Every structure is written in structure tokens, then in C-alpha cells.
Amino acid sequence: MIKILVIHGPNLNLLGKREPAIYGRVTLDGINRMLKSMAKKRGVGLVIKQSNLEGRIVDFIQQAKKNKFQGILINPAAYTHTSVALRDSIASCGLLTVEVHLSNIYSREEFRHKSLVSPVAKGTVLGFGARSYTLGLEALIDLIEAQ
């Protein structure tokens, strides 16, 4: 069975309450339910983590291969633009990684236009709200199955 690690970055625990005009009204629990439903239909195992702490997210990524994951779906949130540590952990983990964002980072403030993660991810899905996650998961599963 394919096993995928889903990582939600900082402040995503506030979804549904934090800036709904940008991030929508779907909660993190709602997104996780959508992901679990899709994974079940595709016969894929998911482990879902969220942290506001950069080092903890790096630990999740570093342990992923040892824990027999075949891929990572990640919304690095604000760390997208600032974390070399996160970028380096993704680059060195050896797993297919898909980056997702609820909003279109390129239509927002200029400091958000640079992703340190995108160059080391297989692909990026952004701007489709909660659907970015399901589109990203679907693509990741297809990539893993094609290997």
C-alpha cells in the first residue's frame, strides 16, 4: 500500500477563522477529511501532521523515508518563503514531494512571490483553496503509482 505523509505548516491550524477572504472557510479538519476520503478511494494510507514549529516539520520530513512513506504532500505556509532548512530537508529526503497552497502566492504581497520549496518539489498546486490539497494528493498518488 502506498503511504503518504501530509504536512501542514504554521498557522494552518487556524483555517476557517484566519483571514477567510484569503484562505476560505474550510477548517483544517475539513481539509483532512477531504484528503482521507480521497486516499481511501485510491487505496492509499495517509499520516497527517501539523506544526507551527520549523524544526518539528524538518523532523517529520527527515523521518519520512525511515517510516516507509513514498511521498510527501506539504503546505509549508509561511516557511515557503523563509526556510532554507525546510528546503534542504525536502531536497535530501529522497521522496517525491508536492507543494500546495490555498492561495495564489504570486497574486499576493511581493515577499510571498518566492518559494524556496518549489525548486525541490516535483510540482506545486496553488490558488484553488482547499481543492489545492486534493489536486496535489491526486497528482502525488499518480506519480508514485507511475514509478
Q: According to the model, what pLDDT value does residue 120 have? A: 98
Q: According to the model, what pLDDT value does residue 126 have? A: 96
Q: According to the model, what pLDDT value does residue 117 have? A: 97
* Domain residue limits, the chain: 3-146
pLDDT, tens digit (0-9, with 9 covering 90-100), for 38-77: 999 999 999 999 999 999 999 999 999 999 999 999 999 9
Distances (CA, A) of 34 to 23, 50, 82, 121: 16, 16, 28, 22
Give me the residues of the chain with pLDDT under 70, please.
111
Q: According to the model, what pLDDT value does residue 103 have? A: 87
Q: According to the model, what pLDDT value does residue 116 have? A: 95
Q: According to the model, what pLDDT value does residue 109 have? A: 72
What is the CATH code of the structural domain delimited by 3-146? 3.40.50.9100
3-state secondary structure of 81: helix
pTM of model > 0.85 = yes
4 forms bridges with which residues in the sheet? 46, 71
Query: Which active-site residues does the annotation give?
Result: 23, 101
3-state secondary structure 18-66: CCHHHHCCCCHHHHHHHHHHHHHHHCCEEEEEECCCHHHHHHHHHHHCC
Contacting residues for 104 by C-beta, under 8 A, at least 6 apart: 126, 127
Do 61 and 91 contact (CB within 8 A), yes or no?
no
Do 47 and 6 contact (CB within 8 A), yes or no?
yes
